[in-house]
Amino acid sequence: MIPYRITNNNVKMPVLIYGTAWKKERTADLVEMAVMSGFRGIDTACQPKHYHEAGVGEALERLEAQGIKREELFVQTKFTPLAGQDPQRIPYNPSLALNMQVAQSFAVSQRNLKTEYVDSLVLHSPLFPYSHLAQVWGAMEELYHSGGARQLGISNCYDLELLQRLYNESGIKPAIIQNRFYDQSGYDRELRLWCNEVGILYQSFWSLTANPHILASREFFALTQEYDKTEAQILYRYLVQVGITPLIGSTSQQHINEDLEIFSFELKSSEIAAISSLLL
């Protein structure tokens, strides 16, 4: 079984989450395969441009029929602002006020996912000016208070001051931040340190895609030999051990099995330090 972390909203979040971006018509089959293999966390979004959210709902129905209940799973979706949507497939009325856009988007997510609630509702990216971000967050807080979302979070937020302002001025604090884990942001080192201080959990995406230079390093080669594991397994194990929850989008049974095998070994503190030095 995949271990869990408890978020600041007392939600059990698996330390690995299955990501469904770009899966399109394969979404339902892949989510079913991932969960039947052992995954218990699923990430999606109400953004037809990159996600087939209804496919996740189809998988949830299939899984229920096979004895895996909705409450056994951590389901996370997102409100995607207009700038991130395909103009031809916006899942809400863009002429409405921002709070109504959030409400409409969430209603679509409920229909797509065939569930009354999600375990985590994430703002897909910050809005500017800040007053717009505050309006959207306020609408998300209403969904939290109504029981529609068990916790809130934000994605693609690389500005520590902006995240701190949101944290300080919000009634419901962000429980998670989901960012691309890459060199261009300095691997969010300062942001992650602050998140650790206040109890915001960090989810990473593009963890493999953005880091071929690390996966091809001498240090990683040595660790693959030491543990008889792949480069991906070493990186995922590292992320989990330093408190990061990676989103994993594997599309083959072999890779999904390998993802789940990372709990069969543990990196030494010296090895954690060696990998961390590659991220400086």
Q: What does the DSSP assignment read for 182-229?
A: SGGGGGGHHHHHHHHHHT-EEEEESTTTT-HHHHTSHHHHHHHHHHT-
Return the SS3 of 265: coil
Return the SS3 of 95: coil
Asked whether the beta carbons of 17 and 76 are under 8 A apart, the reply is yes
136-191 pLDDT, tens digit per residue, is: 999 999 999 999 999 999 999 999 999 999 999 999 999 999 999 999 999 999 99
Structural domains of the chain in order of their starting residue, each with its CATH number: 4-278 (3.20.20.100)
Using CA atoms, how far apart are residues 8 and 175, in angstroms rounded to an integer?
Answer: 6
Q: How confident is the model at residue 1 (pLDDT cuts 50, 70, 90)?
A: confident
pTM, two decimals, is 0.98
63-119 pLDDT, tens digit per residue, is: 999 999 999 999 999 999 999 999 999 999 999 999 999 999 999 999 999 999 999
